[in-house]
Structure 1
Amino acid sequence: MTDAQDNEIDFEIDPEDLEGGPVIAHELGKPSLLVDDLHITYRVFGASKVGGPVKEGRRSLLPRRLRRHGSAIRDVKALRGISFVAHHGESIGIVGVNGSGKSTLLRAVAGLVPPSGGAVYVAGQPALLGVNAVLMGELTGERNIVIGGLALGLTLKEVEERYDEIVDFAEIGDFVNLPMQAYSSGMAARLRFAISASAIPDILMIDEALATGDATFRQKSKARIDEVREAAGTVFLVSHSIATIESICSRILWVHEGRLVMDGPVDVVAKAYKAFVRENKQYRADLAVATG
């Protein structure tokens, strides 16, 4: 394991993550998503020395300080040949240590990141809800609810009808009249979830959003996700909490270093992933003792 990989790994497992049972499976519908040999490669500038000096007669757009030391460009392979099929009515958890490619996978499914290779086929409209998802910070929560609802395909009348429900669900009270840049990260995340869940999307993708909020809000979020799934939507959930994954999902995709390690029932994959995290947590402890 390299130092870079070691620094990226999240070894945290909460005690409650060691318990929990699988979600009761129900009949699935037709395929809603096909990911076929998906590759995502990012080009990073100024990251490391690559190549030699610029050849005579060629002009470089790089700063002179970088030209003296080579092009300083490297390719980062975020996803490496991932393939799977998801169905309507399915709830799928995505697990993996930090830097494994989980969020990149969701962004690719949402159409926010173009594939470097392979393809993504979607039957319907995906809605990505993430902790880092951006609404308009300078606008009030009220205006963001309207804009977000319209973006989800709701009519203005439907947004108005669901406005109070969204505000109550997000638990932001009178803050709805203030600019979102005045919100705490938790308040903003709750509002994003409430807006995204105000409609029944074909594919709902949640990136760590359930980590922001107390137990009551997480329970409300779970109930809403169940409603989406029962309405024949497909739900993807990225979370470091195995307990959350086990309580909501019936299937897990385990991604590591951009590759799909396991794809199967939640109890089977969760058990293997917990064992992997414990093993690497012990490795870190032993390494700290050896180098301490």
Structure 2
Amino acid sequence: MAEQTPEHTPTDLRPTVIADDVHIVYRVNGGTGGKGSATAALNRIVRGGRSPGVREVHAVRGVTFIAYRGESIGLIGSNGSGKSTLLKAVAGLLPAERGHVYTDGQPSLLGVNAALMNDLTGERNVILGGLAMGMTREQVRERYDDIVEFSGINEKGDFITLPMRTYSSGMAARLRFSIAAAKDHDVLMIDEALATGDRTFQRRSEARIRELRKDAGTVFLVSHNNKSIRDTCDRVLWLEKGELLMDGPTDEVIKAYEKEASR
């Protein structure tokens, strides 16, 4: 198995994210007899006990790294390796069982499963999404046309005025990325967003990430597309079974990962 390499050294030594021996544990209620029901869960809370049917999943195991301003960092690994879980912890959406995550600025997590309101039009989602990210109404108005153009939603019709439920999953993902990419972020985390859309949109996405790196803080990208990682990131974290196996320059880490996967 690959060994961890010395950490990539950026030109800007201002940390944006510090993960210090982070462990994330999921607890899943299982078994029979209604142990997984809402009533049973309430009874356990009242009694202060834990059901014998609770299963613990140690999703992230002692991960430590420092991310610096201006870096674009890819996260790779097989399914279930803890990549998305780690991003959720950095975003503050999951508490650490042990260890700590420190961030400079507000992390923003963009995932293809992030909620959009299906009954509202794309236009309304652009406005609400921009406001939710902290933009003012004036900023949303100023950037609205660029968001729609970037997404390509209207290339085959006036879809931006239609409810989101009429969109394909790819169209929704493109619009979601376009909304998030309209704002400069302290720490932007993208979960598989570049895997959607055609090659033209992927190129636009990659170019926008490079702009974000120049103008803002740090970008994290989770993807199974190694080409997107190579085109976008200068550093890669390789996780397997929740453990950080390697941290280093993109080409070096991906070559080791592909060599291991081919065995």
TM-score (structure 1 length as normaliser): 0.78
For 1:134, what is the secondary structure of its paired residue?
Answer: coil
Verify the 8 A CA contact 1:210 1:221 in the aligned structure 2: yes
Superposed counterparts of 1:70-81, under 5 Å = 71-81=52-62
Structure 1 counterpart of 2:96:
115
Residue 176 and residue 29 in structure 1: after superposition, are their counterparts in 2 closer, same or farther (change >3 A)? farther
Match of 1:128 in 2: 109
- Please name the residue that 1:234 is paired with: 218
* Partners of 2:184 and 2:216 within 8 A in 1: no
Aligned to 1:284: none
> Equivalent residue for 1:165?
146
- 1:26 CA drift (Å): 6.7
The 5-angstrom pairing of residues 23-102 of structure 1 reads 27-46=11-30, 71-102=52-83
Native 8 Å contact 1:29 1:232 kept in 2:
no
**C-alpha deviation, 1:144, in angstroms:** 1.1
Give the aligned partner of residue 183 of structure 1. Answer: 167
Shift in Å at residue 28 of structure 1? 2.3
| Structure 2 counterpart SS, 1:28 | coil
Q: Does 1:156 align with 2:140?
A: no
Give every structure 1 segment of 4 or more consecutive aligned residues whose post-TM-superposition deviation is greater than 2 Å: 25-29, 59-63
Once residues 182 and 256 of structure 2 are traced to their aligned partners in structure 1, the CA distance between those partners, rounded to angstroms, is: 35
C-alpha displacement of 1:47: 5.6
Superposed displacement of residue 176, structure 1: 1.2
- CA separation of 1:149 and 1:80: change in aligned 2, threshold 3 A: same
Residues 178-233 of structure 1: CA distance to partner in whole angstroms, max 9, x if unpaired?
12122110001000100000011011111001010111000000110000001142
Q: In structure 1, what is the Cα distance between the partners aligned to 2:12 and 2:170? A: 33
What value does the CA root-mean-square deviation take over the aligned residues?
Answer: 2.0
Query: Displacement, 1:245?
Result: 0.5
Distance 1:39 1:183, change over 3 A: same
* Aligned pairs (5 A) from 1:197-208: 197-208=181-192
Distance 1:107 1:258 in 2: 14
Q: Describe the SS at the equivalent of 1:169.
A: helix
Q: CA deviation at 1:62?
A: 7.5
By how many angstroms is 1:276 displaced? 1.1
Tell me which structure has the larger Cα radius of gyration.
1
Q: Percent identity?
A: 57
SS in 1 for 2:23: strand
Compute the displacement of 1:45 (Å): 1.1
2:252 alignment counterpart: 268
Q: Matches of 1:244 and 1:273 in 2, distance apart?
A: 15
C-alpha distance in structure 2 between counterparts of 1:205 and 1:60, whole Å: 32
Matched, 1:139 2:126: no
**Number of aligned residue pairs:** 240
Which runs of 5 or more structure 1 residues have no equivalent in the other structure? 1-24, 49-58, 64-69, 280-292
